[in-house]
Amino acid sequence: MENHSKTVRVWDPLVRIFHWSLVLSFAIAYLSSEDGEGLHEISGYIAFGLILFRILWGFVGSQYARFSEFVYSPKTVIAYLRSLLTTNPKHYLGHNPAGGWMVVLLLLGVLATGFTGIKLLAVEEGRGPLAQMEVPALIAVASADQDENEGQGENEGGEEFWEEAHEVAANLTLLLIFLHVVGVVVSSRLHRENLVRAMVTGDKNVADKDSV
Per-residue confidence (pLDDT) for residue 141, from 0 to 100:
39
Predicted confidence (pLDDT) at residue 146 exceeds the cutoff of 70: no
Question: Could you give the angle at the alpha carbon of 183 between the alpha carbons of 59 and 18, nearest 5°?
Answer: 40
What is the pLDDT, as a whole number, of residue 108?
A: 98
Residue 28 confidence (pLDDT): 97
Contact between 137 and 116 under an 8 Å Cβ cutoff? The reply is no
Q: What is the mean pLDDT of residues 110-126?
A: 93
Read off the pLDDT of residues 169-186 as tens digits, 9 standing for 90 and up: 999 999 999 999 999 999
Q: What is the DSSP annotation of 94-114?
A: S--HHHHHHHHHHHHHHHHHH
Segment among 29-33, 63-67, 132-136, 160-164 with least mean pLDDT: 132-136
Among 199, 143, 197, 169, residue whose Cα is nearest residue 13:
199
> Angle at the Cα of 174 (from 50 to 112), degrees rounded to 5?
50
Residue by residue, DSSP assigns 128-197 as STTTTS----TT----SS--HHHHHHHHHHHHHHHHHHHHHHHHHHHHHHHHHHHHHHHHHHHHT--HHH
Q: What is the DSSP letter of 202?
A: S
Q: What is the pLDDT, as a whole number, of residue 131?
A: 81
pLDDT at 98 over 70: yes
Distance from C-alpha of 125 to C-alpha of 8, rounded to nearest angstrom: 50
Q: What is the pLDDT of residue 137?
A: 45
pTM of the entire structure? 0.85
Q: Is the pLDDT of residue 95 over 90?
A: yes
Q: Chain-wide mean pLDDT for the chain? A: 87
203-207 and 5-9 strand pairing = antiparallel
DSSP string computed for 29-97: HHHTTTS-TTHHHHHHHHHHHHHHHHHHHHHHS-GGGSHHHH---HHHHHHHHHHTTSSS----SS--H
Lowest-confidence pick of 42-56, 98-112, 123-137? 123-137
pLDDT of 36 reads 63
The residues spanned by each domain of the chain are 8-201
The answer to whether residue 207 scores a pLDDT higher than 50 is yes
* Cα dihedral 131→134→139→142 (10° resolution): 140
pLDDT at 50: 98
